[in-house]
């Protein structure tokens, strides 16, 4: 219930229009992992809300999460004997980087299937269907009794959903392993069993999961980047996890993206693979699991975005990884967290926005009945940077204290963190800014890639991607020589 003594105006959902500054948000993240307070004297945050059209401080979330990852890299550099350096992140630049904008050979790839989107159901509720993968699209169409395949139209889907209750379709889709979410308000999500399961949990968790001797990080000359010779296994797909690996690569890590030769990818892999090695390994086969185990034995960080429990079933859960590689930093990403009735549920940024109340709240702010998405997939991008931040904080702990560590991030918890930042008065009146001035172009294995250059600036060790993005399976499943 709103405090009657508080004169700040409220949105229809009761949220205050005031919002935390990016420095407040960063400091909260920084202190949550007990990172050194003195490092905060070396961060420069420029810009102010609104930078993109939203009633939520999406620019603040982009800037603060990216700054946490970048400042952690600078702190690792200091731990390795380097001087403390200044890190600067501009809010507009950070937000532009989180838009996933890119072109290949001058063309913007189509990454969204025409069936993907929000639909009104027969009971007046709304559902969002994610159909960017053909098997998810065809599964949803089959559940609706529509013809499968690319020829089916949105009108056919709308007609079929007019016979459904929104929550019923969401539940049956989940039971079929599909990706659908019903639109809820913040209040409805907070009373939902999964919302209750996540209440009070931190934006990211870092816990010690095993014993291992400290592995001090080697020291290098002043021209090396903070994560030089840090080996990262990246078993993630779509956006959030790949953003984590891309950030670590920008700060100097050897990041190896591992794809199954049998699973599809979306076009954004060209943009999120900057700086990475890219290999194939089929974990459903003994050869694939042996290859991964061999890589893990000399890795520092293991990042995975499988549903909770899936990696354990393959023999590479947190405890198994810590036995294979004592001292590992294991990073897990999930959609809805690893506890509660939705822990096993598939989800993407757009669906988590819908389920947790953002589409409803943004629509209210816009005076619209239809679900209104945020202007970019900020849950994905902020989660990716929080993963990178947590991984580096755990690396610092390992180097000093020893131990094996588990970092856990979920899109739903990132959503709660975004809510905690408040709202932006008249934020929806902000025009979508041009992006062209933030682009850089380079040759890649996918064609000539133009994408947003990294927004985090380092005074001594500039961030850069030393390797071009390449298609899955380009590189051998061995680490490069130092």
pLDDT tens-place string over residues 459-480: 999 999 999 999 999 999 999 9
List CB contacts of 191: < 8 A, sequence separation 6 or more.
none
Per the structure block, which two tokens stand in for 133?
Answer: 């993968």
d(CA 141, CA 448): 36
Q: H or E segment at 362?
A: helix 358-366
Q: What's the chain's average pLDDT?
A: 94
Enumerate residues 6+ apart whose C-beta is below 8 A from 52: 58, 59, 95, 375, 376, 430, 432, 433
Give the model's pLDDT for residue 282: 96
Mean pLDDT throughout 339-359?
A: 96
Indicate the angle between helix axes 358-366 and 349-356, nearest 10 degrees. 70
- Name the residue with tokens 């893990």: 296
- pLDDT category at 264 given cuts 50, 70, 90 is confident
What are 410's strand-pairing partners?
334
At residue 112 the predicted structure's pLDDT band, cuts being 50, 70 and 90, is confident
Q: How far is residue 182's CA from residue 375's CA, in Å, rounded to a whole number?
A: 19
**367-381 per-position pLDDT tens digit:** 999 999 999 999 999
- Residue 58, both tokens: 């999406």
Q: What is the mean pLDDT of residues 153-174?
A: 97
Q: Decide if pLDDT at 1 tops 60.
A: no
Q: What percent of the chain has pLDDT over 70?
A: 96
Residue 470 contacts residue 257 (beta carbons within 8 Å):
no
pLDDT score of 12: 54
| Residue 156 CA: distances (Å) to CA of 110, 160, 267 | 22, 6, 27
CA–CA dist 47, 319 (Å, integer): 42
Q: Where are the alpha helices (DSSP H) in 49-202?
A: 58-79, 91-97, 134-144, 154-161, 166-175, 186-191, 193-198
DSSP code of 212?
Answer: -
Alpha-carbon dihedral of residues 76, 79, 81, 85, nearest 10 degrees? 50
For the chain, the distance separating the N- and C-terminal CA atoms, rounded to the nearest angstrom, is: 58
Eight-class DSSP state of 90? E
pLDDT tens figures, 406-437: 999 999 999 999 999 999 999 999 999 999 99
pLDDT at position 18 is: 47
pLDDT band at 3 (very low <50, low <70, confident <90, very high): very low
**244 neighbors 65 (Cβ within 8 angstroms):** no
Pure H helices in 251-285: 269-272
Query: Rg of the chain's alpha carbons, rounded to an integer?
Result: 22
**Kind and range of the H or E element at 377?**
none
- Is the Cβ–Cβ distance between 166 and 342 less than 8 Å? no
| 365 pLDDT above the threshold of 70 | yes
User: What's the pLDDT score for residue 11?
Assistant: 54
Distance of CA 133 to the CA centre of its chain: 19
Cβ-in-10-Å burial (0-12, 13-18, 19+) of 156 comes to middle
Name residues whose C-beta falls within 8 Å of residue 281's C-beta, 6 or more positions apart in sequence.
258, 259, 260, 288, 291, 292, 477
Token pair, residue 478, equals 């061995």
Cβ distance 11 to 17 under 8 Å? yes
Rounded-to-integer distance, Cα 43 and Cα 41, Å? 6
Band of residue 7 on the pLDDT scale cut at 50, 70, 90: very low
Q: What local confidence, expressed as pLDDT, does residue 2 receive? A: 24
CA–CA separation, 416 vs 376, rounded Å? 17
Average confidence (pLDDT) over 85-98: 98
Query: For residue 266, what pLDDT is reported?
Result: 80
Predicted confidence at residue 263, as pLDDT, reads 82
Q: How far is CA 70 from the centre of its chain?
A: 15
CA separation for the pair 80, 138 (Å, rounded): 51
Question: Worst-scoring range by mean pLDDT, 4-13, 90-99, 132-141?
Answer: 4-13
């Amino acid at each position: 219930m709103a405090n009657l003594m508080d004169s700040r105006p409220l949105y229809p959902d009761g949220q205050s229009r005031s919002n935390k500054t990016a420095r407040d948000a960063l400091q909260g993240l920084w202190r949550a992992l007990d990172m050194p307070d003195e490092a905060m004297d070396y961060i420069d945050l420029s810009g102010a809300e609104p930078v993109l059209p939203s009633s939520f401080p999406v620019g603040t979330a982009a800037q603060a999460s990216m700054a946490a990852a970048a400042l952690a890299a600078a702190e690792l550099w200091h731990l390795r004997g380097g001087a403390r350096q200044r890190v600067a992140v501009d809010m507009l630049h950070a937000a532009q980087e989180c838009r996933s904008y890119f072109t290949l050979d001058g063309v913007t790839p189509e990454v969204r299937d025409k069936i993907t989107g929000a639909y009104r159901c027969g009971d007046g509720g709304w559902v969002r269907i994610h159909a960017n993968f053909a098997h998810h699209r065809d599964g949803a169409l089959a559940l609706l009794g529509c013809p499968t395949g690319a020829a089916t139209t949105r009108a056919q889907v709308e007609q079929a959903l007019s016979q459904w209750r929104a929550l019923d379709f969401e539940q049956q889709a989940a039971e079929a392993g599909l990706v659908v979410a019903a639109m809820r308000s913040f209040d409805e999500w907070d009373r939902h069993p999964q919302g209750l399961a996540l209440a009070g949990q931190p934006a990211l968790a870092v816990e010690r999961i095993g014993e291992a001797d400290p592995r001090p990080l080697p020291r290098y000359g002043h021209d090396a980047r903070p994560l030089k010779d840090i080996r990262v296994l990246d078993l993630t797909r779509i956006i959030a996890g790949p953003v984590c690996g891309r950030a670590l690569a920008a700060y100097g890590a050897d990041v190896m993206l591992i794809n199954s030769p049998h699973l599809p990818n979306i076009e954004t892999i060209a943009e999120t693979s900057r700086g990475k090695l890219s290999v194939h390994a089929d974990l459903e086969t003994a050869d694939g699991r042996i290859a991964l185990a061999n890589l893990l034995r000399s890795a520092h960080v293991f990042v995975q975005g499988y549903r909770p429990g899936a990696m354990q079933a393959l023999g590479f859960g947190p405890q198994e990884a810590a036995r294979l590689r004592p001292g590992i930093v294991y990073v897990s990403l999930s959609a809805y967290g690893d506890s509660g009735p939705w822990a096993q549920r598939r989800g993407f940024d757009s669906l988590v926005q819908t389920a947790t109340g953002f589409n409803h709240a943004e629509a209210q702010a816009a005076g619209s009945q239809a679900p209104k998405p945020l202007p970019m997939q900020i849950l994905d991008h902020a989660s990716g940077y929080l993963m990178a931040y947590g991984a580096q904080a755990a690396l610092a702990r390992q180097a000093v204290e020893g131990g094996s560590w588990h970092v856990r991030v979920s899109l739903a918890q990132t959503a709660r963190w975004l809510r905690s930042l408040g709202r932006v008065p008249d934020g929806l009146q902000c025009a979508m800014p041009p992006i062209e001035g933030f682009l850089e172009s380079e040759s890649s294995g996918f064609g000539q890639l133009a994408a947003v250059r990294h927004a985090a600036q380092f005074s001594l060790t500039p961030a850069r991607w030393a390797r071009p993005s390449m298609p899955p399976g380009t590189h051998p499943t061995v680490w490069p020589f130092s």
